[in-house]
Amino acid sequence: MATRVFSDAELEALRGFPEITSAELIRYFRLAPSDLEFARRRRGQNNQLGVAVQIAVLSWLGFVPDNLSAAPPAGVSKLAEQLGVPASVFGEYGRREQTRTDNLREVATFLGWRTVGAVELKVLDQFLLARAMEHDSPSLLFRLGCEYLKSGQLIRPGPVVLVERVAAAREVAKAETYDRVEHLLTPQRRAELDRLLVIDLELGQTRLHWLGHGAVQASPAAVKAEVDKLTFLRGLDAHGIDVSAVPAERRRFLAGMGRRTTGQALSRRDGERRYPILLALLAQNAVDVLDEVIGLFDQTLSGRESHARDKLDGRLAERGTGRGGTDRPAG
């Protein structure tokens, strides 16, 4: 199921109240005079406070949880103080579910919020797809979707609805990414990419693992090892792989996934997922390894020059003179 990107406990938490920060308490639970006046039109102190809580919560979360009684006590007390009613009356609010539902509809109309319909969901899908082309994290996409709905004053539907749309956007983004690089995947290129994932008998490891581990310190041996990698990458024409059709954020994500994933795990992924990862990784390695070779060469050369200067200073010191000074005759 698409909802498996979140556990049952996480889904339940998404239906309720999160922890509130002091900044959120100040921002959302301090109502405008017009909001308070709207709440005071209700008969009974409990209904007045209940409506005030719904006004604050809708603005805060972008939806009102069913368990409204679990609203932050500090927020309820703050609203009660503004209304001039006891906070304890909140426990008497909404014993009839229909009362809460009717009040929420009135509150939404008053604040200019709308429920999500077919048109709004289609636009949301387009937004999520654009974000999924940059990010692949389900939790991040869910949060971005919530922020998008909230910015448009659209009441967030239940979490399962949004999670399923996040999952669908990720699948479409995967297919779209593959479509944008498929022209690079000649039969020869596919074979070369797949060979990165199998053990190389000469190295005793996969080329994927070999490419992903750089030098520990600067030395002639380290420079040679990185030059060997650069030569290998040039042999694959990695520097000529143009993946610019894929957004930069997604290229970084794919390359990072390639570095973190073993060859065995990648080989089990379907080609639609595996090949874009390997292409992005090769293209990025072509840049990174070249930079590494230049950096190591400079460090190694500087280290040798420093060592030579130290040796020269030592020899001059033994002869009783310093570099740049003059010999002083014995008196």
The predicted-structure confidence for 18-42, as pLDDT tens digits, reads as follows: 999 999 999 999 999 999 999 999 9
216: three-class secondary structure by DSSP: coil
Q: Are residues 195 and 225 in the same domain?
A: yes
Do residue 219 and residue 298 come from a single domain?
Answer: yes
Pair (107, 200) in one structural domain: no
Do residues 60 and 134 share a domain? no
Which residue has tokens 């509130």? 20
Domain that holds residue 50: 2-111
Task: Decide: residue 191, CB within 10 A, 0-12 exposed, 13-18 middle, 19+ buried.
Answer: exposed
The whole-chain average pLDDT of the chain stands at 87
Residue 321: pLDDT band (50, 70, 90) is: low
Instruction: Tell me what pLDDT residue 290 has.
Output: 83
Q: Specify whether 141 is located in the same domain as 33.
A: no
Same domain, 158 and 265: no
Indicate whether 324 belongs to any domain: no
Question: Are the beta carbons of 243 and 280 closer than 8 angstroms?
Answer: yes
Residue 323 lies in a domain: no
Euclidean distance between CA atoms 31 and 303, whole angstroms: 66
Shared-domain flag, residues 139 and 50: no
Encode pLDDT of 268-290 as tens digits.
999 999 999 999 999 999 888 88
Looking at residue 220, what is its pLDDT?
76
Burial of 305 (0-12, 13-18, 19+ CB in 10 A): exposed
Share of the chain above pLDDT 90, in %: 66
User: Is the pLDDT score of 117 beyond 70?
Assistant: yes
According to the model, what pLDDT value does residue 331 have?
42
Residues 79-100 have a mean pLDDT of: 91
3-state class of 199 per DSSP?
strand
**Backbone region of residue 304 per phi and psi (left: phi > 0; alpha: psi in -120 to 50; beta: other values):** alpha
Looking at residue 303, its pLDDT comes to 53
C-alpha 155/C-alpha 113 separation (Å) is 7
Pull the structure tokens for residue 123. 């636009």
Q: How many CA atoms lie within 13 A of 301 on its CB side?
A: 6
Q: Which amino acid is at 195?
A: R
In this structure, the answer to whether residues 252 and 289 fall within a common structural domain is yes
What would the pLDDT profile of 48-61 be if each residue is shown by its tens digit? 999 999 999 999 99
Query: pLDDT at residue 329 above 90?
Result: no
Residue 319: phi and psi, rounded to 5, are -90, 0
Domain boundary among 111, 129, 164: 111
Same domain? For 87 and 151 the reply is no
31 lies in a domain?
yes
Work out the angle at residue 86's Cα, subtended by the Cα atoms of residues 82 and 88, and round it to the nearest 5 degrees: 125
Residue 329 lies inside a defined structural domain of this protein: no
Q: Is residue 32 domain-resident?
A: yes
pLDDT digits (tens, 9 = 90+) for 209-266: 988 877 667 677 777 888 888 899 999 999 999 999 999 999 999 999 898 889 999 9
Q: What pLDDT, on the 0 to 100 scale, is given for residue 130?
A: 94
Per the structure, the count of domains in the chain is 3
User: In the predicted model, what is the mean pLDDT of residues 184-210?
Assistant: 93
Task: Return d(Cα 113, Cα 156) in angstroms, integer.
Answer: 10
**Which pLDDT score, from 0 to 100, does residue 29 have?**
96
Contact 218, 303 (CB under 8 A): yes
Residues in a beta bridge with 199: 206
Judged against a pLDDT cut of 60, whether residue 324 lies above it is answered with no
Q: Is 301 helix (H, G, I), strand (E, B) or coil?
A: helix
Same domain, 169 and 262: no
Q: Please indicate, yes or no, if residue 99 is contained in any of the structural domains.
A: yes
Claim to verify: residue 132 and residue 62 sit in the same structural domain? no
Last residue of a domain, one of 50, 80, 111: 111
What is the pLDDT, as a whole number, of residue 213?
78
CA dihedral 56, 60, 66, 71 (to 10 degrees): -60
Q: In which band, very low, low, confident or very high, does the pLDDT at 301 lie, cut at 50, 70 and 90?
A: low
- Report helix angle 138-151 to 159-181, nearest 10: 110
Q: What is the pLDDT of residue 1?
A: 47
Both structure tokens of 73: 């006590």
Q: Is 77 left (phi over 0), alpha (psi -120 to 50) or beta?
A: alpha
Question: Which stretches does DSSP call E strand in 58-134?
Answer: none
Question: Does residue 321 sit within a domain?
Answer: no
Is 226 a member of any domain? yes
Report d(CA 325, CA 160) in Å as an integer.
Answer: 80
Q: How far is CA 65 from CA 57, 150, 183, in A?
A: 9, 15, 48
Are 209 and 172 contained in the same domain?
no
Given 126, 153, 180, which residue is the final one in a domain?
180
Among residues 99, 275, 65, which one has the least CA distance to residue 184?
Answer: 275
Instruction: Give the rounded distance of the alpha carbon of 228 from its chain centre.
Output: 34
Q: Which residues pair with 206 in a beta bridge?
A: 199
* 132 contacts 173 by C-beta, under 8 angstroms: yes
Q: What is the pLDDT of residue 314?
A: 62
